[in-house]
């Protein structure tokens, strides 16, 4: 699909929705009361362990804690502490690595692509006035933008984790009532296959079309609702530059994943910092009060500002997300001149069908290590049979 418009990446974005617990407890809670709860719950600093307590995970988060102690703005610093405590300790992990990549059922990909082409939008020329300070006046230039058409299509509200000018704001295609929910329900066995736990689906966002010049800062999602999540890559324009999803895993790698249309990326979205949106589920019996719990876990010294220190990269907190402004691509592990890039692993879709690629697999061949292959290892924790039903794979099929 060629649009004459650069950089369009199209994703199905689905989220579990819970209304009950989103109030911000920190407001109206005195610091003394908060600390009383902190001690009552047995929290300590430095942390005695992390969740999971792997060397790589501890390396990622200990570095972040050093950075957050040097963020000047008090609000930003507290928000950063909340995000990092959730990721490091308070939220549980459900899988070994926190992410996996597989192929979506073809009939669902097709259905989504059809909907996309029907409603995506029309190219429209707008006039833009460019003025300079020299007093030379202004020039009017023409620029092509994409305007959404069709029912249930709108420009995304401004979200602070997406840094974009108005013309670059993603377009959200909700589709007909129930359409997204149907897909969420249909794909649930695949998410349970990956995570090995029983899940409860809820609201599906729709297809999000990213456009030239937008980005999505690294963040974790709200722990009360976004636990087991997925990104469905629907399609992209031929002129779109490859735009990887970045996801950190429990072994300390930064995975840079180039999805192909029809790929699905599973990930634990309230644990693993990632840049780009998603499909969300939560486990049955999941504790939805966890958002409050995180406030109690922040140690007392969050309010002490440390001086900038050589060797500790500057961090900027933007709402619930962060960036490292002095590193290329706003993340030091994506900057090949930075030592953190030693932990970068790059993956290219299309993903294999009926298997879930993850950390430890060969990133080029997308095959599991030999010793796992011999046991027919498919990369999932749960039983594959229902997922394979959805995929239309029978036992006789050669994978």
Ligand X SMILES: *[C@@H]1O[C@H](CO)[C@@H](O)[C@H](O)[C@H]1NC(C)=O
Q: Which one, 6 or 178, has the nearer CB to ligand X?
A: 6
The rounded distance, in Å, linking the Cα atoms of 13 and 276 is: 10
Minimum CB separation of residue 335 from ligand X in Å reads 19
Cα separation of 169 and 153, whole Å?
13
> Which of 6, 178, 242, 392 touches ligand X by CB under 6 A?
6
Map the footprint of ligand X across residues 232-271, applying CB under 6 A: 250
Shortest distance in whole angstroms from residue 32 CB to ligand X: 34
Based on the shown chain and the rule CB under 6 A, indicate whether residue 52 belongs to the binding site for ligand X. Answer: yes
Q: How far is the CB of 94 from ligand X (least distance, A)?
A: 5
Residue nearer to ligand X on the CB measure, 144 or 397 = 144
Taking CB under 6 A as the criterion, which residues in 206-225 touch ligand X?
212-213
Instruction: Tell me how far, at minimum, the Cβ of 196 lies from ligand X, in Å.
Output: 7
Binding-site size, ligand X (CB under 6 A): 10
How many of the other CB atoms lie within 10 Å of CB of 208?
22
Of residues 114-173, those binding ligand X (CB under 6 A) = none
d(CA 138, CA 130): 5
Binding residues among 174-213 for ligand X as defined by CB under 6 A: 212-213
Task: Candidates 72-80, 89-97, 259-267, 348-356: pick the segment binding ligand X (CB under 6 A).
Answer: 89-97
**Residue with smallest beta-carbon separation from ligand X:** 52
Given the rule CB under 6 A, which of 90-98, 172-180, 325-333, 340-348 is the region that contacts ligand X?
90-98
Q: Which is nearer to ligand X, 212 or 321 (CB)?
A: 212
One of 43, 65, 78, 94 touching ligand X (CB under 6 A):
94
Q: Which stretch binds ligand X (CB under 6 A): 92-100, 126-134, 219-227, 312-320?
A: 92-100
Task: State the CB neighbour count (10 A cutoff) for residue 34.
Answer: 16
CB of 238 to ligand X, least distance (A): 13
Burial of residue 121 (CB within 10 Å: 0-12, 13-18, 19+) is: buried
Q: Least distance in Å: CB of 217 to ligand X?
A: 17
Rounded to 5°, angle at Cα 345 from 344 and 349: 140
Nearest-approach distance from CB 109 to ligand X, in angstroms? 27
Q: Which of 199, 271, 274, 189 is nearest to 11 (CA)?
A: 274
Nearer to ligand X, 52 or 350 (CB): 52
Per CB under 6 A, residues contacting ligand X are: 6, 52, 54, 93-96, 212-213, 250
């Amino acid at each position: 699909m060629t649009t004459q418009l650069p950089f369009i990446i199209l994703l199905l974005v689905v989220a579990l929705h819970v209304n009950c617990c989103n109030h911000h407890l920190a407001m109206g809670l005195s610091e003394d009361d908060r600390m009383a709860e902190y001690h009552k719950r047995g929290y300590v600093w430095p942390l005695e362990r992390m969740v999971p307590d792997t060397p790589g995970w501890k390396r990622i988060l200990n570095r972040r804690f050093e950075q957050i102690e040097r963020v000047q703005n008090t609000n930003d610093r507290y928000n950063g502490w909340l995000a990092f405590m959730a990721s490091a300790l308070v939220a549980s992990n459900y899988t070994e690595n926190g992410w996996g990549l597989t192929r979506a059922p073809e009939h669902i990909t097709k259905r989504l692509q059809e909907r996309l082409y029907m409603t995506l939008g029309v190219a429209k020329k707008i006039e833009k006035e460019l003025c300079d300070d020299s007093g030379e006046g202004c020039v009017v230039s023409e620029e092509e933008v994409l305007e959404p058409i069709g029912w249930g299509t709108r420009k995304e509200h401004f979200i602070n984790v997406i840094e974009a000018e108005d013309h670059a704001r993603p377009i959200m295609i909700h589709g007909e009532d129930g359409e997204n929910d149907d897909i969420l329900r249909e794909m649930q066995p695949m998410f349970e296959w990956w995570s090995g736990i029983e899940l409860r689906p809820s609201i599906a966002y729709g297809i999000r079309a990213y456009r030239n010049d937008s980005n999505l800062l690294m963040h974790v999602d709200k722990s009360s609702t976004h636990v087991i999540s997925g990104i469905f890559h629907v399609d992209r324009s031929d002129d779109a530059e490859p735009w990887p999803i970045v996801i950190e895993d429990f072994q300390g790698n930064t995975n840079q994943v180039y999805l192909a249309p029809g790929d699905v990326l599973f990930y634990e979205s309230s644990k693993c910092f990632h840049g780009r949106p998603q499909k969300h589920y939560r486990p049955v019996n999941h504790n939805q009060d966890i958002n409050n719990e995180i406030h109690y876990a922040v140690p007392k010294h969050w309010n002490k500002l440390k001086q900038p220190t050589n060797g500790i990269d500057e961090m900027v907190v933007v709402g619930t997300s962060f960036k490292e402004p002095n590193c290329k691509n706003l993340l030091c592990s994506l900057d090949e001149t930075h030592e953190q890039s030693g932990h970068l692993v790059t993956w290219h879709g299309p993903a294999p069908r009926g298997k879930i690629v993850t950390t430890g697999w060969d990133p080029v061949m997308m095959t599991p290590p030999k010793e796992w292959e011999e046991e027919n290892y498919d990369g999932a924790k749960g039983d594959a049979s229902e997922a394979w039903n959805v995929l239309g794979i029978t036992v006789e099929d050669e994978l």
